[in-house]
Structure 1
Amino acid sequence: FSTSLCLSLTFSLSLSLYLSLYLSLSLFLSFFEYESVSLSCEVQGNSTGWRVVRNTSRGNLSDCDTDWGKQQGSSCIVSLKPSDSGVYWCESGSGEHSNAVNITVHAGAVILESPALPVTEGDSVTLRCRYQGTPSDLTAVFYKDGSLIRTETTGEMTIPAVSKSDEGLYNSSAHDLFLSLLLSLSLSSDISLPASLSVSPDRSQFFKYESVSLSCEVQGNSTGWRVVRNPERGNHTECNTDWGTPQGSSCIVSLISSDSGVYWCESGSGEHSNAVNITVPAGAVILESPVLPVTGGDSVTLRCRYQGTPSDLTAVFYKDGSLIRTETTGEMTIPAVSKSDEGLYKCYNSEGESPESWMTVTVLSMSLSSTISSVVHVSTQHHLQCCPCLSSTISSVVHVSLQHHL
């Protein structure tokens, strides 16, 4: 993301079908009213037919250039107002989806800026409380774990070299107006969101009439969390409206083709989990692959399944359009996945072809010496509140990932 320090800012946001780690997150982004944002669909190969779609907080599902935004190829330029707050993603003519991104537009005068792209451990990270008027850099007081860190007359706090010791609860409470930032610094694929959506069985493709359990796994009290979705055709709705059976913070769905779409967890206060794409094809062949990112070094099995009998027909597997192998058992195992295994997979058998599914692989390699390497998974979570001298209250949440290299 690029930002300028003048009052009228331009932000560039990419929604990518072929996801790098940070774009596989559901990013919670805050903007001033009347700022401009560019939403771009980054597609490997031909981007023809891809468009930016949104579901606003008012429940309206529509394409760019209908009553909002200006279409430019597979991108959309939007001059933002509060009614533009909502969930945005890319969609193809055949119903494929990218990751989803949550955008919040504040009518108020203050937002919190933080790095939008992944930062590396050891890098310098700056957090800024910004006022839309003049001056934009009001004094802010920052605390960590209840202890005063510093007062910054510039309204920004810099962590010169982010490390594990920076883990903690950050806040500022000197004035009436506050903004909160959830800064998730992660050294693995598991970004510390307020909640995560799990899918059982763990796959993204399902036959018609199969049952799937969607569960909101919440840190702390799960009361008020619910499963919501944006189907390919329809509006933003929650479980138990005209689909699904709620069970606590979970939802059981008996699937039909119209249930294909983007699913996530949402709290009563508007917090979100990660988002997942679920596909229910009309055909009789699916590819079973993990719906969530897999960790480098793990064993992963892809299965080409036929809905009839026998279900395990000989299958041909493809990655990114190229033949990988033929398996008489109908399944293909990658003993230890690596970043090179990330890609778009599909399969064929005598009964037909599966839809394509993207498999994300997150790998953390740490070279400890010239002869020793190791993989380490650590996660840290920071909560920050910054408070300039104003008199109303706004909240903004942004998610950032941290990659660790020694």
Structure 2
Amino acid sequence: MNNFKVGEGQTLIIRSARPVHSGGYNCETDTGGMSDVVQLDVSFNFVILQVPSSVHEGDSLSLRCHCKPEIEGNRTIFYKNGEIIKSSARDSVLDLGIADENDAGLYECKKSIYFSGEAEVFVTELFTVPQIKINPHPVIEGDHMTITCDTKLSPHRETTELQFAFYRNGHNVQGFSSSNQYGVPSAQLEDSGNYTCEVQTPSGSVRKRSRRSYIWVQGIRNTVFNSITLETINIANTNETTATNHPFPFIRVIVSLLSICLITAALVFCHRDRICLLLCSRHRRAVSESSNTGNDEYELYYNLNH
């Protein structure tokens, strides 16, 4: 208690509690592990409201209006933030069920109209609101896309098991499981959309959903055009930056030009059918015009000689 040793063994029993026994208690194992501190308050009041020392979302929460035996039979009234929430002639326990953040507040209980006790209840967040994280970013058509549902457990409940589910445009794409990741082996354009994820405890007593996150799967052609733009910008700035930041500025310029050539070749390969049709069409038109011109010259020559 308060860093003083007060007993040994797994259980500490206080036979007749007094205010002097109030303080912070914790225990230590033979291996040196130390527990969290639990606060004990011993009061001389006729009525006290007993509440759990620590409450997390999803815990079962009950408050007890404890009093001296001589006034036990009186009516018990419970208040929250100054408003009556329960009145009973027999029951001295207020059962709030599964705790959530709305249960936090200042509680008070009264026995008849003469004695009362109060206590404040704090509900600790069990885990944070999840967030969507995407890898890689940006996503290009054909990439292995991995979406992670990221959340953090309360330090005092790190062993709590959580379940995760994923949604695209409001439709479930992966049901609740212990995995916080959703993977797409080869992302396609139709995999674009608004993604959300949901986290819950196995019993479903605590459930939270992330904000919507739009994920755009870029097509390969868009990526090629973006690459050309970036390379053009890099070359435009080469004269100003590479001479001072790179020991071989001309090598960098050559590499950039080769990159543009390779990208251009890739575009030509992708559109080779259209290019061939265009060239053939122009060739036919040129041949046709040449043939018509030849006929006109022959007719003119024939008329002049006859």
Could you say which TM-score interval applies, normalised by the shorter chain? 0.3 to 0.5
Structure having the larger proportion of residues in strand: 1
* Higher RCO by CA contacts (8 Å cutoff, separation 6 or greater): 1
Structure having the larger proportion of residues in helix: 2
Greater Rg, structure 1 or structure 2?
A: 2
Q: TM-score, normalised by structure 1?
A: 0.30
Q: TM-score, normalised by structure 2?
A: 0.38
